[in-house]
Amino acid sequence: MLTEHPLKILVVDDDFVNNKLLCQQLQTAGHQVVNQAYNGKQAIEMTKSLNPDIVLMDMQMKNPDTGEIDIQAGIKASRLIQEQCPTPIVIISAHKDPTLIKEANKAGVGAYLIKPSNLDEIERTIAIAMTRFNDLMEVRRLNKELQNEISRRVKSEKIIKFMATHDPLTSLPNRWLFNDRMNQEIAHAKRNQQKLGVIFLDLDHFKKVNDTLGHKAGDQLLKIIGQRLTSLLRKSDTVARISGDEFVILLPRMTTQLNATEIVQKILTTVSEPLTINEQAVQITSSIGIAIYPHDGEKANELIKNADSAMYYIKKHGRNNYHYYNADAE
């Protein structure tokens, strides 16, 4: 016996005499024949149910449904076995056609044995098939581990990149990502002689929410406000949380200043809608400043600064409103 221990073997051959003779040879060598199959369909079913260590299968067998001889019956059954329950397989055949041998290898057959064959040849072929199968399974295992590691690293890189460019509380873009997108849109606006708007929003009396309901409630409120702002914007717009209760919004590719006015009016209404946090009714308003490219600045930091100045103008003049930047009034 060339294997380390006796094997559980399924024998498949539609010729009763050949089937029985092969079983006797294997049993003489100390192996256990778990069953005998006489066609490819039986081979597939028995492999799945009996889980043999290896299958020895004739190449040419009758089709159980039509009764016709199929020269590739063993190859077809081997292919399905490898798809459904990978198992070492030896094809036994009198055919020496290289094309058939090649097809058998493509179907996942571990070794090809030419009839007639003695016990030593059978044992050597079984050992070869077992080794090849185990090597293949090891390669597949290593490939799977490699793919899992690649997926893990890709996922980790995506998470790291997201964390570097987004606010950890609201998952909105952070200041860095906002500036990056803004610089891109300023370049586009310059090429196409378009306007773009920058909105600076600050929540009114947000500190009272933290002081009365706690910081967790304040964090929840910021998340809700972020979601509300996002729901109002186009896909091309960007809303970011840059600090505390301050949000900035980029409105690219504007045709008129009225585009910004319309969205700001919606923001004031939507932000002030009542909500419930920890079973407590909460209502908050916002103060908004607006700067327009290129009239109020041609660089990102300049536009943000001027929108911030316009927001503070509203803070000083009643809150819960908006104001366009005016260099003379600020």
For the chain, the structural domain boundaries read 8-140, 175-324
Inter-residue contact 269 to 229 (CB < 8 Å) = no
- Per-residue CA distances from 198 to 43, 85, 255, 263, 308 (Å): 71, 61, 14, 11, 9
> DSSP label at 135?
H
What is the reported pLDDT for 16?
92
- For residue 26, which of 9, 43, 41 has the smallest C-alpha distance? 9
- Per-residue CA distances from 165 to 156, 172, 329 (Å): 14, 9, 35
Fold of 175-324: Alpha-Beta Plaits (3.30.70)
What backbone phi and psi angles, to 5 degrees, belong to 27?
-70, -35
> Cα 47 to chain center, whole Å?
34
Query: Which residue reads 């290896």 in tokens?
Result: 54
Fold of 8-140: Rossmann fold (3.40.50)
Q: Which residues are catalytic?
A: 245
What is the reported pLDDT for 300?
95
Alpha carbon distance 283, 304 (integer Å) = 27
Report the chain's C-alpha Rg in angstroms.
37
Query: Which residue reads 């399905």 in tokens?
Result: 80
Q: Which amino acid is at 308?
A: D
Question: DSSP string of 160-177?
Answer: HHHHHHB-TTT--B-HHH
Alpha carbon distance 236, 254 (integer Å) = 11
From first to last of the 330 residues of the chain, give the pLDDT tens digit. Answer: 556 678 999 999 999 999 999 999 999 889 999 999 999 999 999 999 999 999 999 999 998 888 899 899 999 999 999 999 999 999 998 888 888 889 988 988 999 988 888 888 999 999 999 999 999 999 999 999 999 999 999 999 999 999 999 999 999 999 999 999 999 999 999 999 999 999 999 999 999 999 999 999 999 999 999 999 999 999 999 999 999 999 999 999 988 888 899 999 999 999 999 999 888 899 999 999 999 999 999 999 999 999 999 999 999 999 999 999 987 766
What is the reported pLDDT for 230?
96
> DSSP label at 96?
-
Global confidence as pTM? 0.65
